[in-house]
Each structure stands twice: as structure tokens, then as C-alpha cells.
Amino acid sequence: MLKQRPFLIETLTAIGLIAAPFLLPHLGFAPNTVNRILVWGLFGLGFDILFGFTGLLSFGQSAFYGTGGFVAAYLLTRAGFSNVLGALIIGMIAAAVTGYLIGLIALRRTGIYFAMITVAIAEVFFFVEFNPLSDFTGGENGLPGVPTPSFNLGFTTVHFTNGWSLYQFIALCYFVGVIIALRIVRSPVGAIFSAIRDNPLRATAVGHNIHGYKLTAFVIAAAYAGFAGGLLGVLQAFMPPDAFTFDTSGQLVMQTAIGGRGTLFGPLVGAAVWLFLQDFLQAALGLGAAWKLVLGVVFVVLVCFLRGGIVGGLADLYGLVSGKRARPAAETEEEAEIETPQQAPPAPMQAKEVAHPAYSGPILKATGLTKRYGGLVANSDIDFSVNQGELRGIIGPNGAGKSTFFKMLTCEIAPTSGQIVFEGRDITGLKVTEVCQLGLTKSYQVNQLFTGLTVRQNLTIAALAELRGKFRLDLFRKLSGVKGLTEQVEHTLALVNLTRRADTPVSELAYGEKRRLEIGLALATSPRLLLLDEPLAGMSPRERVETVKLLKSIARGRTVIIIDHDMDSLFELVERVTVLQEGKVLLDGTPEEIRTNAAVQEAYLGGVHGEIAA
Amino acid sequence: MISWPNLVSQLFNGLALGALLALISSGLTIIYGTLGVLNLAHGAMFMIGGYAGFVAYQYTESFLIAVIAGSLFVMLLGVVMERVIIRHFYHRPHEDQLLVTFGLGICFVELVRLIFSSQSQLVPPPALFQGITNLGFMFYPTYRLAVVGIVAVALGALFIVLYRTRLGMIVRAGIEDSVMVDSLGINVYRVFMVVFGIGAMAAGFAGIVNAPVVSLTPGIGDDILVQTFVVVVIGGVGSFPGAILGGLIAGEIISVTSMFNPGYAYVMLFAAMTLVLVVRPHGLLGVQGRE
């Protein structure tokens, strides 16, 4: 929304931070409150990358907040360390390392399991702080006497003591935190984070090692938490043991949800609302202990009715006022009319370079492929071979095991027995991510898109997998700095005829357009072998004609296998057809042979004839 | 410090705690299994069961009535909660479900704190189970023995409901595949409401039964919630037998470790959970594929 101008958000943040000491006192904020808000905001920057951007809701951030805080405080109070900034950074590193180790365990599972495991882990840290490590952490007394930072500049010494003076230091830390977070969010890694949030299955299938990226997000969040924890000690001149409590994690989650997840500034806004209301309700209204109940109710209401929190709500309001939301609907109708006269078809996209240039056998060869689900045999002893550059069709009645067969070929599910060889290389037992990286991927029968993102962002994520490999930590590289990315995305857009819809969110696309984007996602990884699972399903006759044209241009320069029920379209497209029935290969031949074959007619119509006869 | 009678009595403590955890976890796990919602307010349900029973006890001086009142109140609360709020979250992401139940949990705890203050409250054990029993080789508080029995009966009742009734059949089918149950023409929403009520009641019942063992505070459910998570991760989400097995394991680990050093109880619990996650990521009795 504000992405056009470079450094706009950074500049606004700086202005806001500079103006705060002049404005906020008039609103009744004490400097100490503002400092606490900033510490929570910094804590929340990392958490928002984890939760808002990557979609991992952790209830255990207190573990890292406390770890960073106590390491820094211990160094400064007990170990005779005098460099405050240095101690904060060491604390941050300690928290990040802890985050890495904990992440290895917690990220073994996803969803609610992940949430439960993080809760349990944080609780362990709390008890460890209190008991086994109380000699180092001061147990329930915490660590008093944490000094404030001072910097010797040669000619003078700057000492940030407390109040607005300390504010300058904390605000600077927050500003640096914001700049780093913005860089991360705008990097290729940031793009993949949102892909994981929206559709982890597809992010894996287009060739990203999502476990590695999740762990990265987890470590980033832990690092931010660790630094913020250290700042808490500096701010209070005392490291409180309650940094480790479940309440700390809970408050962070609530503040982020109140302020708005996925916005980076949501946690700061949430913290401001939280601390302001806490003071206001306790002091001004004399509610005493009831303040937390009020905040709890506010939180529940917000989660129920305003999913994007305060910042998200304001953004929606801004969109509503500026009329941005009204346009897409009109565009859809308009588009339907212009769609038919397609411009000259774009040049076929280059597939990846061949891994073994010398290899000349069939690009794919499956032998004895079998899949059993308990007693149910989905695929039984399938032998299948496709040559380089071939355009192959697969047909078969519902339940013939076509989709299962595809899933095994792309290694999404493991075969019970049998072997798959891709370009002379045995890929049986590899992961779907690795297979995609080798140049074999598929489009899905049911759309698997990144629904919260735009068309361009969707294709970007797929293209990134090809251009960057399955895992790479270019956290500070701009998306535009990835060589060849723009070209590849533009090219794919043109190929699937979505150029004019490039900046439309997926949720606003028509069904046919989503279907084309589904193919585009597979295509943007530049596969040498592309499997299409019912690409024409659910399309109107006119859309089918368009899509068949599209498929023809896609098939130039690569090998394609298509499953579909629309035999007229399929027979027009492909060179050879394989017929599956009841999990077995029934027949293999040219479209003409298949059309006239009695066994195929029997497979499709036999049951019906039988019933009619009976 | 570590003597034979001490160990046995800790094993008994572990059994009592484990049985309670098993019951609470069963509630959590059947709700999750059927509805797909992890109820972070489950610990608050446990706490409210204790307080509701405490109020009933103050009026009637009858422990039996306190148990019935506590359980029924929490069941009612669960039904209302499902009807008014949770129902609107079935089609929203897991994170939203976690957030809303977490928020509700806080509201419940703070509401109780407002009414009863943070001071701890006591519910005496029923006259029948007061005092100490001589087990021959050691003396043990009678009520704690009774807790094991009471909870075992409750778990048995839950077993009968789950495995021997029509409703239970639907619930177990729902855990396997709730879409299928829906398409069979069963009103899933009504089943969901009942299940949420039963699940909450399991926690509430445990709350009041546990009240004479420890004193009541508004925060009593928080620790229990964390322990319940560990139980469910160990046992396997959605598995009733897994909840019982996990509960007993967790109870014994906490008790036996506490004998040496209470500070390490959670560390050991966590170590056990990690071990299970590494060796059997889906829990000891969990089924692969349910996430």
C-alpha cells in the first residue's frame, strides 16, 4: 500500500520517534511508560515476523525474552562486564542460539501442537530460572543493579540515564530494529515466510525447504526477544524474574493481536493501548485489579470482530475511504470481455538446464509402482515411461488412481513399492521439495494457491525456489535484487495470460483465472517435466478453448503429462494417451487408438451398460 | 530423604495427580478431536469447577452437592461458550481459535479474581474421606486415595459414554472424519455443543474433586493447562487412551522428580515430551495425519 516510495516507512518511523518526546507527554504518557512501550514494540517486531508473517503462533516467547535479559543482566551485574550495548548483543545471541535449539524441537510439529509445545517449553525456562539456575539469576529476587548505557566518544561521554534520556537510546534500538525487520520482510526470505503462512503445502511443493525457513523465523523472533529482554533490565535497572512467566508470552500475543498482526507496528500500537489502558483504568477509573478483565474482554471482542487488529482496521478504513476496494469487481467484468483476443503468444519459457546433458533415455520411468492404503490398493504395479519433449495424456474413470499416481511421481506420497527414475536418476524416496528442485513438479487438481497474496507475489514465490534453490539466507537482499526474477515472473504472467491481473489479490480472482494461476505456479519453477492434474476441471467451454491454447504453448520446450476428463480437449492436445483403470495401466496408445479401443469404451461405459441390461 | 515409604507415597501422589491429569486431558482431547479446536480456556474451566463447587459447598455444606454443582456449572458454561463464541470460529484459522480461547481464559480468571479476590479458598474433604488411612506399610491421606477412585469412576463413565453409546460413536467417528459425519446427515453442530459441554465438564469435575487437595486460587488452572498440553503431546492428540496413559506418565514424573528436587519436575516432564516428539512425533497412542 505504501510500497512505491523507498524509505517512506523508515522516514515516518524516525519522525514519529523524534516527535514522541514532544507530543506524548501531553497525552499523559510518562517517559517510563513510553520506554516500556518501545521495549514491548521491539519484542513484538520479531514476534510479528514469526506469527504475523510466517503464521507460527508461539506462546513461549518469554523463554527468549528472559534468556536474553538474564544473560545481559548477569554480565553487567555479576561478571564485571561494563559495556551495556555489548552485553545486550551477547544476550541477543544467547537467545538466538536458545531459539535455534528449541526450534529444532518445537518445529517438529505444526499448528496447535506447535503452540502447546512452546507453552510447555516456556514453563520449563521459568522453573529453571527459579531453581537450578537461581545462583546465576537471583531466583525470585531477580538481578538488581543493571547499569544504563554510556558511550565514550573521545571528547565527551554520553550517558543515557533514565526517562527521556534513556528514551533516546531505546528509541535508537527500536529504529534499528524496525529497519532490520523491514529489510527481512522485503527480502526473498520474507516473501517465503508469507508463503508458509498462506499455504505451507504448496510452499514445499514449489521447492522451498520450509522447515529451514520456519526455523529462521523462530531464531529471528528469539533474537529480537533476547535484545528486548536485555533492554527491560536496563530500563528498570533490575532484571525481574517475571520476564520468564507465561503472562509475558501471553501479553505479547495479546498486544500483537490487538495492534494488528503482520504489520510490524501492530505490537507497538498494541503495547501502547495495553499500557495506556492499564494506567488509565487503574488510576483514573479506580478499577484496581479489574483492568486486566477489561483488557481481556477488549481482546476477545477484537479477535472476534477485527481480525487485523487496530492497524489492520485502520488500513481497511483507509482502503474504503480511498475507494481502492471498489475497483476489482468492475475489473472482472471488463476483463471477461477483453480476454478472448489474446496477443501474440509469448515465447515458450525456457526450462531449467538439463542436469545430465549426455542423458538421452526416457525423462521419466516408473517401474512396478504400487500404493496401498491398508487394504485398499490405489495403484498396483504400474510401469510407465515418458520420453523427452513428449506431451502425454492420462485418462481413466474416477477412482482409477490417477491423482495418487501423480502424487507418487512428484514424491508427495511415498509408494508402497516400485521405483521412479527421473532423467536417469532414482528419485524414489526423495522429498517433494528436492524433486521440484530437480525440475519435476505438478499443478494440483484442487487449487493450492497462496490466497492472501497477489498474483505477482504468488508467482514470485514459485520463481524464487528455482532461482535461489531450496534454502538460502539472503535476509537483507531486496526482492528486486534477485537476478532474473522480474523477467521470469513477467514471462509466466504473460504465458498464463494474467499480466493485467498481476497485482490483484488471489481472493478476488475468477475461478478460471485461479486455475491458470495454479498452472502458473508450477510453471514458474521452470520444470523440465510438468504434471498437470485436471487443468480444465470446472472451466466453461470458452475457458477450456483458451486453456488448451495456453497448454500448447507451455508444452513447447518441455515434457508435459496431463490428467483430464475432457477427452475432446485432451485428444486434441496430446500425442499419446495412457489409460488407467482400477489402479492399473489398461492401455497405452495414440489418441486415435484409444478412441476406438473396445476395452476403453468398456472401462468408461461398461458398468452403465451392465446396469441397463440388468 | 529418599526412603522406601517416601517413594511409595510419592508414587501414590503421582497416581492421584496422574488420574486428575488424565481426566482433564481427556476433556481437552475429545474437544480437539471432534471440533478441531484447542481450548486454551480449559485450565480456566478446571479452576471454575473448583470455585463453583466451593460456592455450592458454602451454601449446602455438602461435598456431593458441591461436586455435582461444580460439574454442571462448568458444563453449562462450556455449552454457552460453544454456542455464543466458539461456533463462529470453526471456519477460521487455528491461530484465531487459539487467540479467542486464550482471551476467554484470561477473562474467566480475572472475573473470578474480581469476585473472590486472589486469596486462596478451602474446600474441606467430605467427612467420609477425612483423616489418614493405614495401608499397612505406610499412612496416607484418605482423601487422596479417594481421589484416585473417584477419578477412575469418572474416567469409566467417560469411557462408557465414548465407547458404548450412540453419541460416543458419533464423537469417535467425528474424530476420524468430521466432514464424513456431517454428510451422513448428523447435526454436527449439536454434537459439537454436547462434546464441548462434556469436555468442559471433565475439567470442571476434576477442579472440584481436586479442591480439597490444594487450596483454590484463580491462577490454579494455568499450571494445569501446561501439564495437560504435555500429557496430550505425550499421549497423542485426539486419543482418549492416550490421554490416560499420558496423564499417568506425567503425574508420576512430576511426583517422583519432586521427591528429589521440585525445581526439576518440569524439566523432566519436558525431557519426556521431547523424547516422545523425537521418537514418536504423533504421540504414544496418536494417529498419524491429524494435525
Would residue B286 count as lying in a domain?
no
The pLDDT score that the predictor gives to residue A613 is 41
C-alpha grid cell, residue B111: 472475573
The pLDDT of residue B126 is above 60: yes
Nearest Cα neighbor of B122 from B45, B211, B218, B48 is B211
The chain B residue lying nearest A199, using CA atoms, is B93
Q: Parallel, antiparallel, or unpaired for β A529-533 and A440-443?
A: parallel
C-alpha grid cell, residue B216: 483454590
Same domain? For A60 and A188 the reply is: yes
Q: Where are the beta strands (DSSP E) in B64-198?
A: 132-134, 139-141
The pLDDT score that the predictor gives to residue A356 is 59
- CB-nearest to A296 from B94, B110, B237 is B110
The pLDDT of residue B111 is above 90: yes
C-alpha grid cell, residue A112: 496447535
The tally of CA atoms less than 13 A away on the side-chain side of residue A94 is: 24
Q: Cβ of B263 and A132 within 8 Å?
A: yes
Would residue B99 count as lying in a domain?
yes
Would residue A356 count as lying in a domain?
no
Q: How far apart are CA B49 and CA B64, in angstroms?
A: 13
Alpha carbon of A409: minimum distance to chain B alpha carbons (Å): 21
Same domain? For A407 and A544 the reply is: yes
Q: How far apart are CA A437 and CA A187, in angstroms?
A: 21
Quote ipTM for the complex: 0.88
- Write the pLDDT tens digit of every residue in B221-231: 988 998 998 89
Same domain? For A230 and A373 the reply is: no
Task: Tell me the pLDDT of chain B averaged across its residues.
Answer: 87
The pLDDT score that the predictor gives to residue A137 is 80
The pLDDT of residue B23 is above 90: yes
Least confident of A409-418, A491-500, B180-189: B180-189
The pLDDT of residue A338 is above 70: no
Q: How many domains does chain A fold into? A: 2
Task: Tell me the pLDDT of chain A averaged across its residues.
Answer: 84
The pLDDT score that the predictor gives to residue B100 is 93
Residues of the domain holding A591: 364-613
Query: Which residues is A557 bridged to in the sheet?
Result: none
Q: How far apart are CA A223 and CA A92, in angstroms?
A: 5
Nearest Cα neighbor of B49 from B67, B75, B70 is B70
Would residue A263 count as lying in a domain?
no
Would residue A153 count as lying in a domain?
yes
Least confident of A46-55, A389-398, A602-611: A602-611
The pLDDT score that the predictor gives to residue B83 is 92
The H or E element containing residue A613 is helix A598-613
Q: Taking CB atoms and an 8 Å cutoff, what residues of chain A touch B113?
A: 289, 293
The chain B residue lying nearest A250, using CA atoms, is B102
Q: Is A135 on the interface with B (CB under 8 A)?
A: no
- What sign has the CA pseudo-torsion A42, A44, A45, A46? positive
Mean pLDDT (whole number) for A37-45: 94
Q: How far apart are CA B203 and CA B46, in angstroms?
A: 5
Buried b (16+ CB within 10 A) or exposed e, A365-401: bbeebbbeeeeebbbbebebbbebebbbbbbbbeebb
Q: What CATH number does residue A527 fall under? A: 3.40.50.300
The pLDDT of residue A333 is above 80: no
Q: Is B65 on the interface with A (CB under 8 A)?
A: no
The chain A residue lying nearest B85, using CA atoms, is A304
Would residue B104 count as lying in a domain?
yes
pTM: 0.88
Q: Cβ of B94 and A128 within 8 Å?
A: no
Q: Cβ of B98 and A246 within 8 Å?
A: no
Q: Cβ of A300 and B103 within 8 Å?
A: yes
Nearest Cα neighbor of B265 from B233, B230, B217 is B230
Mean pLDDT (whole number) for A147-155: 78
CB atoms within 10 A of CB B62: 13
List, in sequence order, the alpha helices (H) in A107-154: 111-130, 134-137
In chain A, residues 241-280 whose CB comes closer than 8 Å to chain B: 246, 250, 253-254, 257
Alpha carbon of B94: minimum distance to chain A alpha carbons (Å): 7
Confidence of residue B104 (pLDDT cuts 50, 70, 90): very high
Q: How far apart are CA A250 and CA A392, in angstroms?
A: 55
Cβ within 8 Å of residue B49, ≥6 positions away: B70, B71, B73, B74, B203, B204, B205, B206, B207, B208
The pLDDT of residue A232 is above 90: yes
Confidence of residue A611 (pLDDT cuts 50, 70, 90): very low
Cβ within 8 Å of residue A613, ≥6 positions away: none
Name the percent of chain A lying above pLDDT 70.
Answer: 92
Same domain? For A514 and A380 the reply is: yes
The tally of CA atoms less than 13 A away on the side-chain side of residue A58 is: 35
Q: What CATH number does residue B135 fall under? A: 1.10.3470
Would residue B128 count as lying in a domain?
yes
Q: Taking CB atoms and an 8 Å cutoff, what residues of chain A touch B29?
A: none
Q: How many residues belong to chain B? A: 291
The tally of CA atoms less than 13 A away on the side-chain side of residue B152 is: 9
Would residue A544 count as lying in a domain?
yes
The pLDDT score that the predictor gives to residue B259 is 84
- CB-nearest to B96 from A123, A254, A303 is A303
The pLDDT of residue A609 is above 60: no
Buried b (16+ CB within 10 A) or exposed e, A162-171: eebebbebbb
Mean pLDDT (whole number) for B168-174: 80
Mutate to test the interface with A, among B37, B118, B274 (most CBs of A within 10 A): B274
Mean pLDDT (whole number) for B260-265: 81
Burial of A508 (0-12, 13-18, 19+ CB in 10 A): middle
Would residue B75 count as lying in a domain?
yes
Residue A580: helix, strand or coil by DSSP? strand
Least confident of A328-332, A485-489, A492-496, A587-591: A328-332
Name the percent of chain A lying above pLDDT 90.
Answer: 26
Strand order in the sheet with A440-443: A440-443, A529-533, A559-563, A391-395, A576-581, A584-589
The gap from C-alpha A452 to its chain's centroid, in whole angstroms, comes to 10
Residues of the domain holding B247: 4-279
CA-to-CA dists, residue B261 to B223, B258, B273, angstroms: 18, 5, 19
- Write the pLDDT tens digit of every residue in B40-84: 999 999 999 999 999 999 999 888 999 999 999 999 999 999 999
Cβ-Cβ pairs closer than 8 A, A with B, add up to: 123
Would residue A39 count as lying in a domain?
yes
Q: Taking CB atoms and an 8 Å cutoff, what residues of chain B touch A131?
A: 261-264
The pLDDT score that the predictor gives to residue B67 is 92
The pair phi, psi for residue A428, each rounded to 5°, is -60, 130
The pair phi, psi for residue A502, each rounded to 5°, is -55, -40
Residue A383: helix, strand or coil by DSSP? strand
Would residue B211 count as lying in a domain?
yes
Least confident of A99-108, A546-555, B87-96, B126-135: B126-135
Q: Cβ of A293 and B103 within 8 Å?
A: no
Q: Taking CB atoms and an 8 Å cutoff, what residues of chain A touch B225?
A: 119
Burial of B217 (0-12, 13-18, 19+ CB in 10 A): buried
Would residue A533 count as lying in a domain?
yes
Integer Rg of chain A from CA: 29
Name the percent of chain B lying above pLDDT 70.
Answer: 98
The pLDDT score that the predictor gives to residue A247 is 87
Nearest Cα neighbor of A225 from A113, A115, A91, A31 is A91
The pLDDT of residue A326 is above 50: no
Q: Which residue has the higher pLDDT, A479 or A269?
A: A269
C-alpha grid cell, residue A328: 476489482
Q: Which of A187, A218, A246 is the last residue in one of the domains? A: A246
Confidence of residue A125 (pLDDT cuts 50, 70, 90): confident
Burial of B134 (0-12, 13-18, 19+ CB in 10 A): exposed
Q: Cβ of A110 and B291 within 8 Å?
A: yes
Mean pLDDT (whole number) for A293-297: 89
Q: How many domains does chain B fold into? A: 1
Least confident of A2-11, A207-216, B195-204: A2-11
The pLDDT of residue B160 is above 70: yes
Q: Taking CB atoms and an 8 Å cutoff, what residues of chain A touch B103?
A: 254, 296, 299-300, 303
Would residue A350 count as lying in a domain?
no
Q: How far apart are CA A376 and CA A582, in angstroms?
A: 11
Q: Cβ of A250 and B106 within 8 Å?
A: yes
Least confident of A10-24, A119-133, A254-268, A518-532: A119-133
The pLDDT score that the predictor gives to residue A29 is 84
Q: Which residue has the higher pLDDT, B135 or A90?
A: A90
Would residue B284 count as lying in a domain?
no
Would residue A46 count as lying in a domain?
yes
Confidence of residue A336 (pLDDT cuts 50, 70, 90): very low
The pLDDT score that the predictor gives to residue A482 is 84
